[in-house]
């Protein structure tokens, strides 16, 4: 096995890991603020992919340039779902919350199958089609664009959380909901914002993936399981942890597929997930 192949595989793992990280950032944001595990998070990604596809198919709008529209659209969807559904189960037992988000996953997937059929669709000849050479390594331009877009979006979320008053309010709500309310922070507005931002992150990731990955109603299932592994590895509620864990999981998955065979790559990631649960259940950057 040559060093060129190893470098190519490593670079591919980092790029897909950056997309995993963006999906996981949205998931960990919702959990960090509300302590609700959102099983429908993969369907937000699926909706982001379809939004990019239909804007391209109907109006010839390139997915890269319509990323802000996808983000805004999924933010509205996430906020609306919180107001219409999740708000009613905030005080419910954890099991009821799990069944609600799981049912929401089935509902959104069923709506997608009804509206768009279970056909596979692709976006051809976007503005990032082709290949690019980086340090002598040949990479797909769509994958590079997706990685760069994921980094920029994750950085934007991180700066929002750490440099703005709304972000500080979100962090305060996540740290202590009752204390935040005593300080005048509207927890319902923060929960709505968290769901909107979480859905927007998944929507942007979906729009980026749409430039090179097949689009179909069940596509979210391919990424949400990995996102749960990333969130657990990085630490629930940690945006920085999700970012670095996403890269690690992407590299482990791709390198494991190269060294042991593609059929083992998911098993390797799940083995990593179980190892973290056993030896460090709070995650690499989570608080003990």
- Res 286 pLDDT > 70: no
The mean predicted confidence, pLDDT, of the chain is: 90
pLDDT digits (tens, 9 = 90+) for 35-59: 888 999 999 999 999 999 999 999 9
- Res 282 pLDDT > 60: yes
- Res 244 pLDDT > 80: yes
Q: What is the pLDDT of residue 209?
A: 95
A 10 A CB-CB count for 78 gives: 30
Q: What is the pLDDT of residue 204?
A: 96
pLDDT digits (tens, 9 = 90+) for 124-164: 888 888 888 877 788 899 999 999 999 999 999 999 999 99
The 8-class DSSP code of residue 236 comes to: T
CB distance 265 to 256 below 8 Å: yes
CA dist 207 → 43, 53, 129, 201, 261 (Å): 13, 8, 14, 10, 29
Mean pLDDT value across residues 243-252: 93
A 10 A CB-CB count for 94 gives: 11
Q: What is the chain's Cα-based Rg?
A: 19
CB distance 232 to 271 below 8 Å: no
pLDDT digits (tens, 9 = 90+) for 178-231: 888 888 899 999 999 999 999 999 999 999 999 999 999 999 998 988 998 899
Q: What is the pLDDT of residue 172?
A: 92
Question: Hey, where are the domains in the chain?
Answer: 3-279
CB distance 246 to 65 below 8 Å: no
């Amino acid at each position: 096995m040559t060093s060129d192949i190893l470098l190519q595989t490593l670079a591919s793992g980092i790029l897909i890991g950056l997309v995993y990280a963006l999906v996981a950032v949205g998931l960990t944001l919702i959990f960090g603020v509300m302590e609700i595990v959102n099983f429908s998070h993969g369907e937000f990604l699926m909706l982001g992919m379809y939004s990019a596809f239909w804007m391209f198919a109907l109006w010839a709008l390139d997915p890269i340039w319509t990323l802000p529209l996808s983000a805004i659209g999924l933010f509205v969807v996430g906020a609306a779902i919180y107001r219409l559904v999740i708000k009613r189960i905030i005080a419910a037992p954890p099991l009821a919350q799990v069944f609600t988000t799981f049912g929401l996953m089935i509902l959104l997937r069923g709506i997608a199958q009804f509206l768009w059929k279970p056909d596979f669709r692709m976006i051809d000849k976007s503005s990032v089609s082709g290949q690019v050479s980086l340090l002598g390594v040949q990479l797909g331009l769509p994958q590079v664009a997706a990685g760069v877009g994921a980094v920029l979006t994750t950085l934007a979320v991180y700066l929002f959380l750490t440099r703005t008053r709304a972000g500080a309010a979100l962090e305060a709500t996540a740290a202590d909901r009752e204390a935040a309310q005593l300080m005048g922070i509207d927890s319902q507005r923060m929960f709505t914002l968290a769901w909107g931002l979480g859905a927007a992150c998944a929507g942007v990731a979906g729009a980026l993936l749409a430039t090179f990955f097949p689009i179909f109603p069940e596509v979210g299932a391919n990424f949400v399981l990995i996102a749960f592994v990333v969130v657990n590895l990085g630490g629930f509620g940690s945006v920085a942890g999700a970012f670095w864990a996403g890269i690690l999981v992407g590299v482990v998955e791709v390198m494991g597929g190269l060294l042991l065979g593609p059929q083992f790559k998911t098993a390797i990631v799940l083995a990593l997930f179980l190892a973290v649960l056993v030896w460090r259940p709070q995650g690499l950057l989570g608080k003990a």
